[in-house]
Amino acid sequence: MNMVEAVVLGILQGLGEFLPISSSAHLLIAPWLFGWQEGTPQEKLVFDVALHLGTTVAVIGYFWQDLRRIFGSLLRPANPHADDRRMAWMILLACVPGAAAGALFEDVIEQSIRTRIALIAVLLMAMGVVLFLADRFGRRERSVDSLRTVEGFLIGCAQALALIPGVSRSGATITAGLLLGLTREAAARFSFLLSAPITLGATLWTFRHLVKSPPAGNQLMVMVVGVLTSGIVGYLSIAFLLRYLRTHSVNLFLWYRLAVGLLVLAVWWMRR
C-alpha cells in the first residue's frame, strides 16, 4: 500500500466511522473500485489497526470531558453522581451485544459477506432507507439523559449489526435512538459515547497481533499515516455531524448512500 492509498482510506475511515454511511463498506468498495492490491494479511492487519486507532483517539479526545465524568463516577460515591454512574453502566451494558457478536460472528461475516460487493451496495442503500424512516417517524423529543437502561441495551443490540458491511455502526445506533424518540443530536451523541469503549476494546484486542509481529519500515509509515488521517478526519466528522443534526434531517445521508450503492451496482454489472 502506498501513501496515497493510506490517506484515501484514512479519510474514508474517519468519515464513515462517525457519519452514518458505513466505514467498512467504503473500505471494501474503494480498493475494489480502483483495483488496489490488498497486500499481505499482516499488512492488512497493520492498516486496520491504524485506521481504528485513529478514530478511537478521535472519539475519546472529542468526548474526553464527558467520558471522564461519566466513567469517573464509578470510582466516586453514588451521590451526587447517580446519573453519571447510571449512564456509565448503561454504556458498558450496551457494549455487550457488539462485543459478543464480534467474538462469535466476525469470521463468518468476513468469509460470507465482505467479498460480495453487490450485496454490500444493496445493504448500503437499504439501511439508508431505514435511517430515513426512523428520522421521519421518530418523535425526536427526548434527551440522552432520558434513556432507560433497557433502551440503551437495545441501541447496543443495533450496534452489533455494524459487523455487516453497509449497515454502519453510527447509522444503526442513530436509527435505534431515533426510533426510541431521541432528538437527532441526542441519538448521535449517545452513538458516539457508546462507540468509545467498544472501539477501544476492539483496537486493543487486535493490537495483540502486532506485539507478535510489529510493523517495520514502510509498514510503520503507512500505519502512522493511517492513524493521523483517520484521527483528524474522524474528529472533524464528529463535530460536523453533531452541529449538522441540530437543524437538518438525515436526508443527505440517504441520498449519498443511494448514489454510492447505485454506482457500485452499475460498475459491478459492467464487470461481470
Q: What is the pLDDT of residues 34-85, one digit of tens each?
A: 998 767 766 777 788 889 999 999 999 999 999 999 999 888 776 666 889 9
Q: Which residue's C-alpha cell is 460515591?
A: 77
**3-state DSSP call for residue 30?**
helix
Measured distance between the N- and C-terminal CA atoms of the chain, rounded to whole angstroms: 26
Give the pLDDT mean for 11-25.
96
Predicted confidence (pLDDT) per residue in 224-265, tens digit = 999 999 999 999 999 999 999 999 999 999 999 999 999 999
Contact (CB, 8 A) for 268 and 117:
yes
Strand partners, 142: 182
Of 2, 257, 268, which Cα lies nearest the Cα of 130? 257
**3-state DSSP call for residue 142?**
strand
Q: What is the 3-state secondary structure (H, E, C) of 41-90?
A: HHHHHHHHHHHHHHHHHHHHHHCHHHHHHHHHHHHCCCCCCHHHHHHHHH
Q: Indicate the pLDDT class of residue 132, thresholds 50, 70 and 90.
A: very high
